[in-house]
Amino acid sequence: MSDRSQIDTSPGALTRVPGFRAAGVSCGLKEESGQLDLALLACDRPAAAAAMFTTNAFKAAPVLYDMALLSRSHIDMHPQPIQAVVINAGVANACTGQGGLRDAERMARLTEAALSLPADSVLVMSTGVIGHRLPMDRVGAGIQAAARSLSPTGGADAARAIMTTDLVPKEAFLQLEIGGVPVSIGGIAKGSGMIHPDLAPVGAPHATMLSAITTDAAVSPAALDAALAAAVDASFNRVTVDGDTSTNDTVVLLASGAAGNPMIELGTRDYQNFEAALTGVCRSLAIAIARDGEGATHLVEIVVRGAASDAQAQRAAKTVATSPLVKTAIFGADPNWGRVLAAIGRSGVEVDPARVSLWLGDVQLVAGGEPLSFDAAAARAALKAPKVRFSADLGLGSGQATVWTCDLSYTYVEINAEYHT
C-alpha cells in the first residue's frame, strides 16, 4: 500500500468508489418528521459480498435473513452475488418473530423489484427501537423513492439516513494501488449507544452498530472473507460505548471487481496491502463511533501491552473500557487511576501486580506495581483533553491490544432513560 494513502473522512465516501450509487430518503420511520431514515446502496454490477454479524442470541430479523442468504453460498461453494443493500433507521425489526422475518424478506424483495434485480441479490439492515414491527407501507414507499434517487453522489445522504442517536455521520475513504491499478475502498457506519460489537462471520459460533463498505477491487471470495474478519477484529470488535452488544450489529463489504486489478488472493502481498487498507477504513469508522458515543465528552483509548497474549491484552483493555467507574472518573477529570488497575485485576487475565506499570497520557502513575508521585495538574489536564489515553504494561509477554471507548456522562443516562418514550 502506498505511503501516500490516507483516510479521507469527508462526506460521500461510500459512492466515491466507482460503480456504486446510493440514496438517503425520509419515509416517516423516525419520530421527527422529514428526517432521512432509509438508505439504499446499489452496485452497477453483481458484487462479491462478505459480512460479519452480531453474536447476540436475539438476532434481529434482517440479521437472520442476511445470514441465511449468505450461508447458502458457503454451503454450495458458489458465492451469491449481491447488488444492493437497503437499510432503515428508527425501527430495529428485532424480537419481532415470524412477522419480522417476513418484513425483512419483503424489504429485500421490494428492493429487487424497484431495481429490476434478480432474487436473492439484496441484503437488509435495520436499526432503532427493539420489539416493534416495521410499517411496511412506509418502508415500501421509501424504497421506491430511494430507487428513484440513486446517485453517484448519494453516499453522504445514505450515511445520514442510517443515524439514530448519532450526532454526526461516520464516513471513511481510501485509495491504494494493487498491481499498479488504483483501487478504492469507502465506508459508512452508524453507532452511538448499545455499542459493544462482538461480530463473527457466517458459520461461526435499540441503537446498534451498522457498517456498509464498498470497494471496486477484484478479490477472491476466500480473501474477501479473511480480509473483513481481520479488519473487523482490529476495529469494530475493539470499540465499546456501554458494554451492550446489539441485536442488529452488521458489517457488509461489497467488492465489484470493476477496478480491473489482478485478482487478490490469500497469502499474497496484494492481499496484505488490501487487508491493511480495509483495516484502516474500518478503524477510522470504529473510532468515530466511540468519539460520538451517546453523551460522550471524550474519546478514550485504552492500551494494554506486555500481556501473556494478544487475546488477554484485549480482554483486559475491554474490561477497563467498560468499567463505569473508569468512565465516570474520566468524565469528572478525576485521576483515580486505581479504578483502572482494579478493572484489569478483575478481567480474568494473567496478572502479576508487582510487574504492572500504568500511564495517563505521558504521565506515569505506576511503575513495577509501585505508585509514583506525579503532577496532579498534568494528570487532570490529560483527562480534560478531547482524547484521553490510558496505557498499561503487564510485564508478562508480548501481547498487546488497543480498545476505544468514551466517558460516561449525565447525558448518556438521560438519552437512554427516555429512548423509547
The residues carrying an active-site annotation are 208
What kind and span of H or E run contains 411?
A: helix 410-417
Return the HEC string of 213-269. EEECCCECHHHHHHHHHHHHHCCHHHECCCCCCCCCCEEEEEECCCCCCCCECCCCH
How far, in whole angstroms, is CA 155 from its chain's centroid?
17
Alpha helices (H) along 77-204: 97-115, 136-149, 155-161
Q: How far apart, in Å, do the first and last CA atoms of the chain sit?
A: 48
- Nearest CA to 216 out of 97, 411, 66, 48 is that of 48
- Nearest CA to 349 out of 316, 375, 393 is that of 316
Cell numbers describing residue 281:
477504513
How far, in whole angstroms, is CA 339 from its chain's centroid?
27
One-letter identity of residue 374: F
Taking each helix axis from N to C terminus, what angle separates 324-331 and 338-345, rounded to the nearest 10 degrees? 160
| Residue 53, CA distances (Å) to 203, 248, 263 in order | 10, 8, 26
Q: Give residue for cell 472473507.
A: 225
- Nearest CA to 246 out of 206, 284, 212, 213 is that of 206
Q: Burial-class residue 75 by CB neighbours within 10 Å (0-12, 13-18, 19+).
A: exposed
Buried b (16+ CB within 10 A) or exposed e, 292-321: bbbbbbbbbbbbbbbbebbebbbbbbbbbb
Tell me, what DSSP letter sits at residue 399?
Answer: E
